Amino acid sequence: MSAVAAGPGVRVVATRAEVRDAVRGWRAAGERVGLVPTMGYLHQGHLSLVDHARAGAHRVAMSIFVNPLQFGAGEDLDRYPRDLERDLELARSRGVDLVFTPARAEMYPEGEPRVAVVPDEAIAGRLCGASRPGHFRGVLTVVAKLFGVFTPDVAVFGQKDYQQATLIRAMVSDLEMPVRVDVAPVVREPDGLAMSSRNVFLSADERERALALSRALRRAGELFAAGEADAAVLRAALLRELAAPGVEPEYAEVVDPRTLAGVVRAFPGAVCAVAARVGKTRLIDNAVLP
């Protein structure tokens, strides 16, 4: 399949071979390659990762692939929002050099992958992993595969998915993958809601209720800044704010930034992490204590 242009500047390709060709050309010219993996339906959070990648690489590539391997049965794979035309326009406007939009069979020609990256349950089984068994196996497997296709110098992920970023760092370190992993801060709407492709599912009413997540994190941050370091107290405050009408909390934790294990005493750098269901939509958010 040949590359199609999406306006000046951005190449759009659907095969691994075309990616390898493009990357070979860049490397031959001495250019460093940055990669931003996404599932599309782009927002300013994704685009901030592009800016971040640009700071460490001459060329920025983005993948847009709704990875079936990371969705469990009964999750929202089929209704995950998609709008490739809009994504390509946003990517182009932000100076992305290449967008990789593979079909499922291009990524998983064997159907199910024969080999997968399986994370330690001690890290992957808690927080989001507790309600989404196999999710991080799917994430790490597709990211490892994208690293193999792009061989990027730097790959950028969002702190929004804190556990994901932690596991990707662990994979790169433990499996000696030659790529630098950067993690960029959470980008929020003006009222505090963390940007997410899934926010499109929220009704006006739910959109308002969804502020409980960022409000909870803010409250815990204020308590900590005022001297409260008892994690049980911070956790209770998170849950109290989270448990607003129409919001069904899934977890509220204060965790060690490296192991993601719950802490007894909070400290600067510890992470408050929350997940909740607002209507049918599952939302997550987190904040590092100052």
Q: Which residues contact ligand AMP (rule: CB under 6 A)?
A: 38-39, 45-46, 48-49, 157-158, 160-161, 184, 186-187, 194-197
Which CB sits closer to ligand AMP, 10 or 165? Answer: 165
Q: Report the nearest approach of ligand AMP to the CB of residue 231 (Å).
A: 25
Largest CA distance in the chain: 60
Question: Which residues, 6+ apart, have CB-to-CB distance to 17 below 8 Å?
Answer: none
Question: What is the layout of strands, in order, in the sheet containing 154-158?
Answer: 4-5, 11-13, 98-100, 59-64, 33-38, 154-158, 180-184
Q: Is 58 a catalytic residue?
A: no
Catalytic residue selected from 43, 46, 52, 135? 46
| DSSP strand pairing (154-158 vs 271-278) | unpaired
Which CB sits closer to ligand AMP, 197 or 231? Answer: 197
Q: Report the nearest approach of ligand AMP to the CB of residue 89 (Å).
A: 17
Q: Report the nearest approach of ligand AMP to the CB of residue 76 (Å).
A: 12
Which CB sits closer to ligand AMP, 45 or 249? Answer: 45
> What ranges in the chain are assigned the alpha helix state H?
16-28, 44-56, 84-93, 104-107, 121-124, 128-131, 135-150, 162-174, 204-209, 211-225, 231-242
Which CB sits closer to ligand AMP, 49 or 266? Answer: 49
Q: Report the nearest approach of ligand AMP to the CB of residue 26 (Å).
A: 22
Q: Which residue is nearest to ligand AMP (CB)?
A: 158
How far apart are alpha carbons 170 and 155 in whole angstroms?
Answer: 14
According to DSSP, residue 6 is labeled S
Q: Give the H/E segment covering residue 84.
A: helix 84-93
Instruction: Count Cα atoms within 13 angstroms, Cβ side, for 47.
Output: 16
Determine contact, residues 12/102, Cβ cutoff 8 Å. no
Which CB sits closer to ligand AMP, 231 or 286? Answer: 286
How far apart are alpha carbons 195 and 160 in whole angstroms?
Answer: 9
Q: List residues bridging with 284 in a β-sheet.
A: 275
Residues labelled as active-site residues: 46
